[in-house]
Homo-oligomer: A and B are copies of this chain.
Amino acid sequence: MSETQTQINYIDWPKEIKKIMFVIVMEHEANDLISLINLKRDETTLNNPFLEGYTCEYNNKQVILVKPPIDPVYKVQSVSTEPASLCVYAAIKKYNPDIVISAGTSGGVKRKENPDLHLKIKDIVVAQSIQFFTRTIIIKDWEGYVAGKQYNLLNPKPLHQILALKPVIIGTDNSFTNDNTHAIEQGIDCIEMEAAAELRVCHLLNVPFTAIKIISDVEMDDPTERETLFKDFFVHGIKNLSIKLKEFLDDIDKIANW
């Protein structure tokens, strides 16, 4: 892969942000924010198989939360990259937001190479880069494309400095496993299932994009302790994400003008 293909393109935050769109795939992640800032279901998205929208006014800004609806065949929440791509595309066409933030949970990867990062459960992080990390291709021309890390990403520094979010390298995959081999090989800090796909859509539609994720669990020597902490996180920890997203909204003008 050439250097040009791996370079990350940070873009500046728009100076004036009036419409903020969150993409949150999982219901339990979305529901906290919906109650916290009183988002209301947008009835024009009822029965749309790709887009479930919620909107509200908050501090004189329009806030939009979108998620892909429940899959009608399998009756599960529509995790993974294709539903996320379609949801973000349909949502941008409908709401025309100034920025898009992918929010949700993410698994933390324990890597010897990043001992300073020390990711812990409940840490809240911001994307310093996003890529697919398990895709491979035998044709050289497509190598950069299948990783897809070169699309425009909002500069993570304002969120690091103003909201104390840890900048991390996010890896997206359509599998959810306990095996972190590929992630470690690729230098990935956290793993989730949508961000790289959403990033491409936002780049192609010229909408500034970042991802804010909360760490749901980190690989541990004791799998029983890990399981206990993971379950506890979903009861007591996950609300910290929506609290931080509310802080983000409170500080949005400061962030935009950082």
The oligomer's copy count stands at: 2
Of B5, B49, B81, the residue contacting A74 (CB under 8 A) is: B5
Q: Is the CB of B150 within 8 A of A74?
A: yes
Of B81, B90, B203, the residue contacting A73 (CB under 8 A) is: B203
**A197 and chain B: residue at smallest CB distance:** B82
Tell me, yes or no, whether A166 is within 8 Å of chain B by CB.
no
Tell me, yes or no, whether A257 is within 8 Å of chain B by CB.
no
**A152 and chain B: residue at smallest CB distance:** B73
Tell me, yes or no, whether A204 is within 8 Å of chain B by CB.
yes
Q: Is the CB of B79 within 8 A of A82?
A: no
Q: Is the CB of A76 within 8 A of B132?
A: no
**A151 and chain B: residue at smallest CB distance:** B73
User: How far apart are the CA atoms of A132 and B144 in the complex, in Å?
Assistant: 22
Q: Is the CB of B79 within 8 A of A81?
A: no
Tell me, yes or no, whether A243 is within 8 Å of chain B by CB.
no
Of B72, B86, B175, the residue contacting A137 (CB under 8 A) is: B175
Q: Is the CB of A74 within 8 A of B135?
A: no
User: How far apart are the CA atoms of A106 and B135 in the complex, in Å?
Assistant: 18
User: How far apart are the CA atoms of A5 and B174 in the complex, in Å?
Assistant: 18
Chain B residues near A73 (CB-CB < 8 A):
145, 150-151, 203
Binary interface profile of A, 202-218, with partner B (CB < 8 Å = 1, else 0)?
Answer: 01110000000000000
Tell me, yes or no, whether A50 is within 8 Å of chain B by CB.
yes
User: How far apart are the CA atoms of A204 and B145 in the complex, in Å?
Assistant: 28
Of B150, B174, B200, the residue contacting A135 (CB under 8 A) is: B174
A183 to chain B, nearest CB (A): 14
Tell me, yes or no, whether A178 is within 8 Å of chain B by CB.
yes
| 13 contacting pairs across A/B (C-beta < 8 A) | A5-B74, A49-B204, A72-B204, A73-B150, A73-B151, A76-B145, A79-B145, A81-B82, A86-B86, A86-B89, A89-B90, A138-B177, A174-B174
Tell me the A residues contacting B by CB distance below 8 Å. 5, 49-50, 71-74, 76, 78-82, 85-86, 89-90, 132, 134-139, 141-142, 144-146, 150-151, 174-178, 197, 200-201, 203-205
Given contacts A86-B89, A89-B90, A139-B176, 11 further A-B contacts (CB under 8 A): A76-B141, A76-B145, A79-B142, A81-B81, A82-B200, A85-B85, A85-B86, A86-B86, A86-B201, A89-B89, A137-B175
